[in-house]
Amino acid sequence: MFVIATAGHVDHGKSTLVERLTGMWPDRLAEEQRRGLTIDLGFAWADIDGREIAFVDVPGHERFVGNMLAGVGPVPAIMFVVAATEGWMPQSDEHAAALRALGVQHLLVVISKADLADPTSAIDQVRQQLPAATIVLGTEIDSVRRELVTLTDRLPAPDIDADVRLWVDRSFTVRGAGTVVTGTLAAGAIRVGDDLVHNGRRVTVRGVQSLGRDRSEVAAVARVAVNLRGVDHHSVTRGDTLCTPDAWRDTREIDVALRAAGKLQQQLVLHIGSASMPVHVRPLGDHGARLRLPRPLPLRIGDIGLLRDPGEHRIAAGVEVLDVAPPALRRRGDARARGAELATGRVSPPVCARGNDLRAMGFEPEGERVGEWVVDGRWWADQREQLVTAVARWSATHDIAAGMPTEELRRDLELPAIELVTALAEGTGLAVADGRIRTPGAALPDRVEKAVCTLEDWLTAEPFRAPDADELAELRLGPKELAAAVRAGRLVKIADGVVLGPRAYQRAAEVLAGVPQPFTVADAKRALDTTRRVAVPLLEALDARGVTRRRPDGTRLLTR
pLDDT in the model for residue 25 = 86
Phi, psi of 271 (to 5 degrees): -115, 120
Interstrand relation of 165-174 and 241-243 (parallel, antiparallel or unpaired):
antiparallel
* 3-class SS letters over 183-220: EEECCCEEECCCEEEECCEEEEEEEEEECCEEECEEEC
Count CB-CB contacts under 10 A for residue 185: 28
- Point out which residues pair with 309 in neighbouring strands: 314
Rg (CA), the chain: 38
- Point out which residues pair with 499 in neighbouring strands: 493
Topology of 2-154 in CATH?
Rossmann fold (3.40.50)
Closest CA to 527 of 509, 540, 551: 509
Tens of pLDDT, residue by residue, the chain (560 residues): 999 999 999 889 999 999 999 999 886 655 645 555 566 788 999 999 999 999 998 886 777 778 888 888 889 999 999 999 999 998 899 999 999 999 999 999 999 999 999 999 999 999 999 998 999 999 999 999 999 999 999 999 999 999 999 999 999 998 888 899 999 999 999 999 999 999 999 999 999 999 999 999 999 999 999 999 988 888 999 999 999 999 998 999 999 999 876 678 889 999 999 999 999 999 998 899 999 999 999 999 999 999 999 888 888 899 999 999 999 998 989 999 999 999 999 999 999 999 999 999 999 888 999 999 999 999 999 999 999 999 989 888 776 766 789 999 999 999 999 999 999 999 999 988 888 888 876 667 778 888 889 999 999 999 999 999 999 999 988 888 888 888 878 899 999 989 999 999 999 999 999 999 999 999 999 999 999 999 999 999 999 999 999 999 999 999 87
Give CA–CA dist 173/160, Å, rounded.
28
pLDDT in the model for residue 530 = 94
Close Cβ partners of 462 (under 8 Å, ≥ 6 residues apart) = 529
Query: CA dist 72 to 22, 43, 102, 153, 491, Å?
Result: 19, 12, 9, 19, 77
How many residues comprise the chain? 560
CATH classification for the domain delimited by 165-243, as one of 3.30.470.20, 3.40.50.1370, 2.40.30.10, 2.60.120.10: 2.40.30.10
CA 465 to chain centre: 61
CA 217 to chain centre: 27
Close Cβ partners of 2 (under 8 Å, ≥ 6 residues apart) = 51, 52, 53, 54, 77, 152, 155, 221
Domain segments of the chain as ranges:
2-154, 165-243, 256-285+299-341, 348-442, 446-558
Q: Return the SS3 of 481.
A: helix
Question: Which helix (H) or strand (E) segment is 506 a member of?
Answer: helix 504-512
SS3 content of the chain, % helix, strand, coil (to 5): 30, 30, 35
Spatial contact of 2 and 152, defined as CB atoms under 8 Å apart: yes
Amino acid, single-letter form, for residue 132 = A
- The answer to whether the peptide bond before residue 536 is cis (omega within 30 degrees of 0) is no
Give CA–CA dist 121/108, Å, rounded.
18
* 3-class SS letters over 337-368: HHHHHHHCCCCCCCCEEEHHHHHHHCCCCCCE
DSSP secondary structure, 398-447, as one string:
-TTSS-EEHHHHHHHHT-S-THHHHHHHTTTT-EEETTEEE-TTPPPPHH
Give CA–CA dist 3/76, Å, rounded.
7
Spatial contact of 274 and 168, defined as CB atoms under 8 Å apart: yes
Query: CA dist 213 to 19, 45, 171, 206, 224, Å?
Result: 20, 12, 18, 14, 10
* Top CATH class, 446-558: mainly alpha
